Chain A
Amino acid sequence: MRFLSQYYQEIEGIEIYPIIVLLLFMTSFFLMLYVILRTDKKQTDMYSRIPLDDNNSEFEQNNF
């Protein structure tokens, strides 16, 4: 597929794309990180138990 790259090279202003991508990614990544790290740990611990919280616990014996 490498032969394609030479055609990319000829597209005007192509260098801007990686920069846009990087900026976009970095902003959204840090925003997300900020939001997630601020979330209360107690709350996420509760969320993480959602799959286990079936009210048919009689199934939860080791009956694999």
Chain B
Amino acid sequence: MEQQTFYYDNKIVRLFLNATLLWGVVAFLYGLLLALQLAFPVFNLGMEYSTFGRIRPIHTNAAIFAFVGNAIFAGAYYSMQRVLKTRMFSDLLSKINFWGWQLIIVLAALTLTLGMTTSKEYAELEWPIDILIAIVWVVFGWNMFGTIYKRRVKHIYVAIWFYIASFVAVAVLHIVNSLEVPVTLFKSYSVFAGVQDGLVQWWYGHNAVAFFLTTPFLGLMYYFLPKAANRPVFSYKLSIIHFWTLVFLYIWAGPHHLLYSSLPDWAQTLGVVFSVMLIAPSWGGMLNGLLTLRGVWDKVRENPILKFMAVAVTAYGMSTLEGPMLSLKSVNAISHFTDWTIAHVHIGAMGWNGFLTFGMAYWLIPRMYDTKLYSIKLANFHFWLGTLGILFYAIPLYWAAFTQTLMWKEFNADGMLAYPNFLETVTQIMPMYYTRIVGGTLFLLGMVVMLYNLIKTAYSGKFIAEEMASAPAREVISSSRVAGETVHSWLERRPTPFYILIALAVLVGGIVEIVPMIAIKSNVATIATVTPYTPLELQGRDVYISEGCVNCHSQLVRPFRSETERYGEYSKAGETVYDHPFLFGSRRIGPDLARTGVVGGKMYKNATWHYNHLQNPQALNAQSNMPPYPWLIESDVDVSLTEAKVRAMMSLGVPYTEDEAKMANDLYMNQANLITASLKESGINVEPTKKIVALIAYLHRLGKDITMSKQADGTTTNADSNTDKTAQQ
């Protein structure tokens, strides 16, 4: 058969790889800054742009979408060309994919710094950027499908399947979770509210982990691990089973665990079975990776690339065992809102994503520059720095999580909370936060060592921008099944039904899940006393969102006695029906704020207290690690938007009247004047349009509606029939 000569495009791979390394440094630096801020609040640097609440989403977005995202593209663009024996479909699309993605990252960093955020985790970016992401993602898919179409081989290697599944799933997740109503160019409200918004967000959040951090990296693993070990993958059949089981099961996993937690026993058992089932394909994949190294363990000992990859695959196995465990309700009751989650994700991010990326970079650069790695010693040194970094990061956090959760839940002999002051539980884990800084520093140092090593390597060689290759053209066979051909080989000769199958496997879970999500809206018991936020409170809520308070404060009191004792009545879904977006939060670095506005409640503080506290928390509690927010006193709310915001809410079904919309700013000023008047009594002079006034109004609203319902009927609670659900925890 005729041999064809063609060229692989290494330039695009190098671009993405450089971006990976650059953004990696940025992501790690931001992470280190966060670690410093939690231990020493001065590192909030006294500017609104650099407080914890704003830096945290930049760190997570940089780590996920900039560092890991570029690594996915680098690895996919390299491996796709080679296993399909063709250049990428279109150099132009490759370039649009690259520059578009970098533009998104820069815009993300800018807008998040400026406090433009939707506050939904890993989906913080505002709507114009969301649209840009969708476009660039489609460009990537287009380029990939075009490349598959013009391939010279018959079989599509399993790594590509993982890329295809990732493409489909991320597209769907991103679009559904980003549905929002714009108010201005950089402000929007989620179309979902409260509990429903929370469900959509966690469906997205869980699967972003699955289909952005896991499946594409499995594709990379199935290509680069065999390459680095110079051995075929242990079992190809296992890799296929791994693929189908994983893509089918993963999408169910997030809300699944919510589903079963208090359903009847038989259903709970089923839920556990499902969680356990997800361990099977994950561990099948891990074993397939590790067993690929069998017979070359002597090489693993001396080859740092294989070392990085072996640890990466092991970390994948650890996280995927821990994940299902964390979703068991008894474990979740103690792990949720603590540093356990943070430790868990970092085993995945630093170990699995980080180490696989490092291994890939050490493997790629010498090859693309036709040279040898500058220093194996330095690479080994990096390996140890990285490994120690992960250990010094994760172990203290597990310790901190257990310490804090036990303190939260401890009662003394009189049946009172043993540590009623939340801050005590923060102070207790400070030593762990210092140790974490060491871990982060080691990890970052390792990265710097790698950069030096790779730059030296690049200088010692010559970049092969166009790598020559040759392969026979693909045979053209009729599209119907040839006699004797298995279903499988027929399928892969004709990729379209294959795509459809993959899409089905991914989507079926999504579709069946969406049904209860929609059903839940009509099932949320409405509470008569819950009314929409006043215009002032609405603006205050947006200040809260913009400053990223949700990154430290939850607004979700769980039905445990340890929580109702500390905060007040547990949260009801009906309270959040006007919350576009929801603000449950995921980590309690500070106390829960859902009951902050309950006058006479455990959490209530007056306006003066909030004013002083927000201005300088350390002045009230020297050990607090909450950042000071003095600029909230200086800067004004943009009241020209008040009416537009109210109207945007109306378009989402929030029952404001036409008059309320028209007089939004009058209502705003009336309420603000009351607050400034009460502040004046304490000798504080502040104008009613300042951000702090709106924020105080919002804080004073939290939980208030529930107490109104009590006063109205004189019963403890009519809001919910599930009062007796308060667990004895």
Contact = CB atoms under 8 A, between A and B. Distances in A.
Contacts of A21: 252, 274, 509, 512
Interface string A5-37: 111111100110110111011001100110111
Interface in B314-331: 329
A64 B300 CA distance: 12
Contact of A7 (B82, B157, B333, B520): B520
A15 to B, nearest CB: 6
B373 interface: yes
Interface in B330-377: 332-333, 336, 362-363, 366-367, 370-373, 376
Contacts of B505: 28
Contacts of B329: 2
Contacts of A56: 467-469
A50 B155 CA distance: 9
Contact of A36 (B240, B270, B336): B240
B523 interface: yes
Contacts of B249: 25
B38 to A, nearest CB: 24
A6 to B, nearest CB: 5
A11 B632 CA distance: 43
Contacts of A29: 244-245, 248
B263 interface: yes
Interface residues of B, number: 89
B303 A44 contact: no
Interface string B369-400: 01111001000000000000000000000000
B559 A33 contact: no
A7 to B, nearest CB: 5
A17 to B, nearest CB: 7
A41 to B, nearest CB: 8
B256 to A, nearest CB: 8
A18 B237 contact: no
Contact of A18 (B259, B303, B371, B524): B259
Interface string B302-319: 011100000000000000
Contacts of B227: 51-52
Contacts of A18: 259-260, 267, 270-271, 274
A6 B516 contact: no
Nearest to B519: A11
Contact of A3 (B240, B260, B304, B571): B571
Contact of B725 (A6, A59, A63): A6
A4 B363 contact: no
Nearest to B277: A25
B372 A63 contact: yes
Contacts of A10: 523
B471 interface: yes
Contacts of B682: none
Contacts of B79: 51
Interface stretch (B485-493, B527-535, B692-700): B485-493
19 contacts: A1-B198, A1-B261, A2-B332, A2-B559, A11-B516, A15-B263, A18-B259, A22-B274, A32-B241, A36-B241, A47-B158, A48-B232, A48-B235, A51-B159, A59-B370, A63-B372, A63-B373, A64-B305, A64-B372
Given A32-B245, A48-B232, A50-B153, 9 more contacts: A2-B329, A4-B199, A5-B263, A11-B516, A14-B516, A45-B236, A48-B236, A50-B83, A54-B82
Question: Lowest 8 A-B CB distances belong to which pairs?
Answer: A48-B236, A44-B236, A48-B232, A5-B261, A5-B262, A50-B157, A63-B372, A18-B270
Interface of B: 79, 82-83, 153, 155, 157-159, 195, 198-199, 202, 222-223, 226-228, 230-233, 235-237, 239-241, 244-245, 248-249, 252, 258-264, 267, 270-271, 273-274, 277, 303-305, 329, 332-333, 336, 362-363, 366-367, 370-373, 376, 467-471, 486-489, 505, 508-509, 512, 515-516, 519-520, 523-524, 556, 558-559, 570-573, 722, 725
Interface of A: 1-11, 14-15, 17-18, 20-22, 24-25, 28-29, 32-33, 35-41, 43-45, 47-52, 54-56, 59-60, 62-64
